[in-house]
Structure 1
Amino acid sequence: MSTTSTSTSPSQSPAPSLYIYAITGSDHPLRLAGLRAVGGVSGALRAVTGGPLACVVSPAPPDLRPKRRDLAAHQEVQERLMADGAVLPMRFGMLAPDDAAVTAALDGKRAEYVRRLEELHATAEFNLKAARSQDGLLREVLTESDDARRLNERTRDGGGTYADRVALGELVAHQLDARQRLLADQVVGRLAELARGKVVAAPAGDDFLNASFLVERGRAEEFSRAARRLARGYGEGYDFRLRGPLPPYSFVA
């Protein structure tokens, strides 16, 4: 499925009328009662079916924006669905013009969607982000790298040449990057043994790790305990943030 724009002009076709939450099997319980749809409407959620598949939708709200209330509603629907069976969760903001377009999209990728639902059966996603104190990492580089230590001593208090300062900056940057990459690989390697799959994304800000793990629901608590134990093992100067269980956003494509 692909997103469509909600804006129109007199010369354009009408705005999309359906907001898309997730694809499930047509035999999914679809316990939608009591859930609020994106846009704030209660009782508006329903399913469009196509053969072995179903797509959960609601009326598309006008001027759709990622407001906190709507983001929460989007995730709550997906978490309710995930509690009862396999789900292919859609990103926030997925729209379709009508039921026929949804049915056509389900039919067009039927085999792929069915296969992915089978692969994601009884699984959930856990996302782990981690950062390390840059001061602590820098001290480690200057302590363990002979070249960095010599250049740092040479340029201390304004000494050394311009070339020395450039060389020190490049060496430290390279060492910081290499050490953080190695650390990320070690963390992922230790947790991947408990997961069915993993996706490692580019970290942002001060993080050295942004990894998602596909975990069997029966091992969710085991995975959480292992991640917490791993975080404690690294001690002070590290910041590990684990989120989950979540709909398997990172494993849909």
Structure 2
Amino acid sequence: MALYVYAITGEKHPLDLDGLSGVGSEPSPVRVVAAGPLCAVVSDISEEIRPKRRDVLIHQDVQERLMSGGPVLPLQFGYTATDESAVEQALRKDADGYLATLERLRGCAEYHVRAVQDEEELLRQILRDSPEARELNERIRSGDEDPQLPLALGQLIAAQVQERQQALSSGLVDALVPFARDYTVRQASGTDLLNLSLLVADDRREEFRTAEGNLAREIGDGIEFRLSGPLPPYSFVQ
């Protein structure tokens, strides 16, 4: 029978899985497949698993239960194996790498920091701070029919937005990464200007949260911070 694989742990992990049922329409108990110094946490499945809300929450619940007992290599939602033999083979093949990563993640959790900038507030700041943008805007509003004015203003504002957001994003990263063992910056999407993942040691958790809170208060108008964590260290499993 096929297996759904949640995570990899070391053999000394307490693996408190009592009462946990797995993903799928006919959930089976979450259990362990061991190979040498490693264990894979799995459950039996008889269907293709899709990211339904219930199954995503179960996947996350298993990860959080495991995190409470020690370092864990969380797999992304949807990872499956054909059978126990395939799982055992994968554990043995990459044992050294898995063990090294588990040691690197020991005593750590992942935190996500997203920053969103209010576009209207940013536009007001640009028009306030840039004489050239302010002049173009005033000419358009006063009825100047030069067809090049809107294009020139749009290009100027777009360049200013990119420059300011890149500078702000870099400054936020520089302020937070000293509290982390590792970090990764992903491409921001939508209205986000920052999408930052940090690997933070447990003994620096409060220090990090305090610094993030202070930064959010000091950063100024028009910036919203969103902090998530502690989370399984998905971003730091290679």
- TM-score bracket, normalised by the shorter chain, equals over 0.9
Distance apart, 1:139 and its partner CA: 1.0
2:193 aligns with 208
Equivalent in the alignment of 1:142? 127
Note if contact 2:5-2:42 (Cα within 8 Å) is conserved in structure 1.
yes
State whether residues 28 and 45 of structure 2, in contact with CA within 8 Å, keep that contact through their aligned partners in structure 1.
no
Query: Cα gap change, 1:213/1:61 in structure 2, threshold over 3 Å: closer, same or farther?
Result: farther
Q: Percent identity?
A: 47
Counterpart for residue 232 of structure 2: 247
Structure 2 letter corresponding to 1:244: G
Q: After alignment, is 207-216 or 158-167 more displaced?
A: 158-167
Match of 1:168 in 2: 153
Residues in 2 aligned to 1:72 and 1:192: alpha-carbon distance in whole angstroms: 29
Stretches of structure 1 that go unaligned for 5 or more consecutive residues are 1-15
**CA distance in 1: counterparts of 2:20 and 2:183, whole angstroms:** 31
Deviates more, 1:22-31 or 1:152-161: 152-161
Matched, 1:199 2:189: no
Structure 1 runs (4+) greater than 6 angstroms displaced? none
Q: Is 1:79 aligned to residue 101 of structure 2?
A: no
Answer yes or no: is 1:62 the counterpart of 2:44: no
Are positions 1:152 and 2:146 aligned together?
Answer: no
Shift of 1:236: 3.9
1:185 matches 2:170: yes
Instruction: Find the counterpart in structure 1 of residue 211 from structure 2.
Output: 226
- Distance in 2 of aligned mates of 1:85 and 1:204: 33
* Matching residue of 1:4: none
Structure 1 residue 43: deviation in Å? 6.1
Q: Is the 8 A contact 2:28 2:43 kept in 1?
A: no
Alpha-carbon offset, residue 147 of structure 1 = 2.2
The offset of 1:40, in angstroms, is: 6.2
- Is the alpha carbon distance of 1:42 and 1:30 closer, same or farther for their aligned partners in structure 2, counting shifts above 3 Å? farther
* TM-score (norm: length of structure 2): 0.94
Which residues in structure 2 correspond to 1:19-168 (within 5 Å)? 19-39=4-24, 44-168=29-153
Task: Say whether the 8 Å CA contact 1:34–1:43 is kept in structure 2.
Answer: no
Number of residue pairs aligned between Structure 1 and Structure 2: 238
Compute the displacement of 1:33 (Å). 0.5
Gaps in structure 2 of 5+ consecutive residues: none
Query: Hey, what's the Cα distance between the residues in 2 that align with 1:73 and 1:158?
Result: 60
- C-alpha RMSD of matched pairs (Å): 1.6
Query: How many Å apart are 1:153 and its aligned residue?
Result: 2.1
- For the residue of structure 1 that corresponds to 2:110, the secondary structure is strand
Aligned-residue offset at 1:113: 1.0
CA 1:34–1:235: 2 relative to 1, 3 Å? farther
8 Å contact kept, 1:81–1:87: yes
